[in-house]
Amino acid sequence: MLVNMQEILKDAEEKKYAIGCINTPNVEAIRAIIGAAEELNVPIIIDHAEVHDPLIPIESIGPKMVEYAKLAKVPVCVHLDHGTDYNFIMRAIRCGFSSIMYDCSALPFEENVEKLQVFTRVAHNLGLTVEAELGIMSSTEEDSHGGKPLTREDIRKSFTDPKQAAEFAARTGVDALAVCFGTMHGIYAEEPQLDIDRVKAIRAAMPKDCRVVMHGGSGVDADQVRAAISAGCSKINYYSYMAKATSRHIYQKLNAVNGNAFYHEIQEEAYHFMKTYIKDVLTVFKNGK
Ligand SMILES: [Zn+2]
């Protein structure tokens, strides 16, 4: 069943679990992520990142994502991840996406507010939900967003201010806000240390119907993830570590048979591996529920 974010995040927030939001740049990933969610009977968000478009255009993968979402036994939100370009966002809407992240976090606060105010009004009229970002979500060197290696100290400088988050959410009406409290995109150079008190402060300050989002959720240990969920984080973006682990698994499998495999067997192996991997991740996100 295809849904937007509001239809699933309210229950997550009330019951203190988090919904996974996972990039699906190929059909194996779509099947694996939705399959894992169905087996655990949890809602799920699948997303296409603007930075993955050179890999596969949204017009190729987007309709597949929507089709699989409609056929799923659990609620599935089809979301655009880090849309920065208006034309690209329009392409996502044409493909039938139910939710859009419009990332203007690189702009000054007032400009970020103005852009999201206008967009959210239009999107809500179309029945779509909107995510924005406040504070700069850093990227590690090894990430498709690009970036440079950062220390924990560097990350701390771009932490989101709870008061600003509250003002931003109230003025824009966005449904979800990606905030910075210690995570980064990509593969971590240094073990991340989350500022859980900041999550609590942001949750307490923001309007109730705007949800707190963690990006860069892969690579964070399970205890910190659960602490962030209990503190009020109800959507977690996850991808890099799953993608790397899948490659390592395929490498081992191919080594074991000296590379002698049909390509479709590799695809199937990747699907089964990702499904098992994501089931473990989603079990952590359930936070004991
Ligand atoms: Zn992100």
Q: For 256-272, what is each residue's pLDDT tens digit?
A: 999 999 999 999 999 99
User: DSSP class of residue 51?
Assistant: G
CA 245/CA 285 separation, integer angstroms: 19
Q: Which residues are identified as catalytic? A: 81
Distance 188 CA to ligand 1 centre (A): 14
CATH of residue 143: 3.20.20.70
CA 100/CA 121 separation, integer angstroms: 13
Residue 13 domain boundaries: 2-285
What is the reported pLDDT for 157?
75
CA 50/CA 110 separation, integer angstroms: 24
- What average pLDDT is seen over the chain? 94
Residue ranges of the annotated binding site are 82, 103, 133, 185, 215
- Contact by Cβ (8 Å): 152, 182: yes
Q: pLDDT band at residue 36, thresholds of 50, 70 and 90?
A: very high
The structural domain count of the chain equals: 1
Distance 14 CA to ligand 1 centre (A): 24
Distance 253 CA to ligand 1 centre (A): 31
Per-residue pLDDT tens over the stretch 127-186: 999 999 998 776 665 665 555 666 777 777 789 999 999 999 999 999 999 999 999 888
Q: Structure tokens of 48?
A: 């296409």
